[in-house]
């Protein structure tokens, strides 16, 4: 039953909300435009807030629900950690659209919000502050993802949660590898710049 739940967490995470919403509006594959990702940031650049906000909320819930349900139904912290990771993995590599999805930030924040709320708020504050100050969403995303396991160790002392969070950071860094390269070269697109 737990194995099935974990697998369903991946399938839930794989639901490509940005792809679906963009396709319903434009009849086009969002992965051919902008950053070629299916997440809220690319939708924001291409379609604006009215389309990006529902994408963000759906992607956030894709991370929140598996963790919440694993704790509520099974009372199993390890299952919650595994299911959260698989949900983010599904978002980044969705089975429904040939494993080319988003960058995982909104779904990761959904996972974080259930595991430890205070570190989630602090990491969210870092995301907002860095993204607003630099206008690089990718930089804010990476620093927020990296800060969460550090906050966990500082406030909660839960090493298994910190390990999961660091694994999520490595996954996020991997899918942001092109962004990292552009940041280092000073060529990354800033928030507000149209794709």
Domain membership of residue 190 (yes or no) is no
Measured at the alpha carbon of residue 9, what is the angle toward residues 62 and 161, in degrees to the nearest 5?
A: 80
* Mean pLDDT, residues 177-190 taken together: 93
Domain membership of residue 34 (yes or no) is yes
**Share above pLDDT 90 across residues of the chain, in percent, rounded to a whole number:** 93
The alpha carbon of 106 is separated from its chain's Cα centroid by a whole number of angstroms, namely 4
Helix residue spans in 70-116 (DSSP H): 77-92, 105-115
Residue 88: which residues within 8 A CB-CB, separation 6 or more? 13, 63, 104, 107, 108, 111, 168, 171, 172
Domain membership of residue 195 (yes or no) is no
Closest by alpha carbon to 35, among 178, 184, 186? 178
CA gap 148, 99 in Å, rounded: 26
CA gap 40, 165 in Å, rounded: 21
Confidence (pLDDT) at 195: 52
Residue 25: which residues within 8 A CB-CB, separation 6 or more? 47, 51
Positive or negative, the CA dihedral 123, 42, 63, 53 is: positive
Domain membership of residue 192 (yes or no) is no
The string of DSSP letters for 135-156 reads: --HHHHHHHHHHHHHHHIIIII
Average pLDDT over all residues of the chain: 95
CA gap 155, 80 in Å, rounded: 20
Closest by alpha carbon to 101, among 183, 191, 17, 11? 17
Confidence (pLDDT) at 166: 96
Q: What is the pLDDT of residues 131-169, one digit of tens each?
A: 999 999 999 999 999 999 999 999 888 899 999 999 999
Domain that holds residue 40: 2-185
Give the SS3 label for residue 166: helix
| Domain count of the fold of the chain | 1
Domain membership of residue 101 (yes or no) is yes
Q: What is the pLDDT of residues 67-92, one digit of tens each?
A: 999 999 999 999 999 999 999 999 99
Are the beta carbons of 18 and 26 closer than 8 angstroms?
Answer: no
Question: What does the chain come to in residues?
Answer: 195
Domain membership of residue 105 (yes or no) is yes
Domain membership of residue 137 (yes or no) is yes
Confidence (pLDDT) at 84: 98
Confidence (pLDDT) at 189: 86
CA gap 93, 90 in Å, rounded: 5
Give the SS3 label for residue 39: coil
Domain membership of residue 175 (yes or no) is yes
């Amino acid at each position: 039953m737990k194995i099935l739940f974990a697998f369903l967490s991946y399938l839930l995470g794989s639901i490509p909300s940005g792809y679906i919403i963009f396709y319903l509006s434009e009849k086009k594959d969002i992965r051919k435009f902008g950053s070629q990702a299916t997440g809220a940031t690319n939708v924001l650049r291409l379609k604006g807030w009215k389309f990006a906000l529902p994408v963000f909320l759906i992607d956030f819930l894709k991370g929140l629900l598996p963790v919440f349900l694993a704790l509520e139904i099974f009372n199993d912290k390890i299952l919650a950690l595994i299911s959260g990771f698989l949900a983010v993995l599904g978002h980044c590599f969705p089975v429904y659209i040939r494993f080319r999805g988003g960058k995982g930030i909104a779904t990761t924040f959904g996972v974080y919000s259930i595991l430890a709320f205070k570190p989630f708020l602090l990491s969210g504050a870092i995301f907002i502050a860095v993204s607003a100050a630099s206008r690089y969403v990718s930089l804010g995303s990476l620093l927020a993802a990296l800060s969460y396991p550090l906050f966990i160790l500082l406030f909660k002392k839960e090493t298994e949660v910190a390990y999961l969070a660091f694994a999520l950071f490595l996954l996020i860094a991997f899918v942001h590898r092109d962004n990292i390269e552009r940041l280092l070269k000073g060529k990354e697109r800033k928030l507000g710049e149209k794709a």
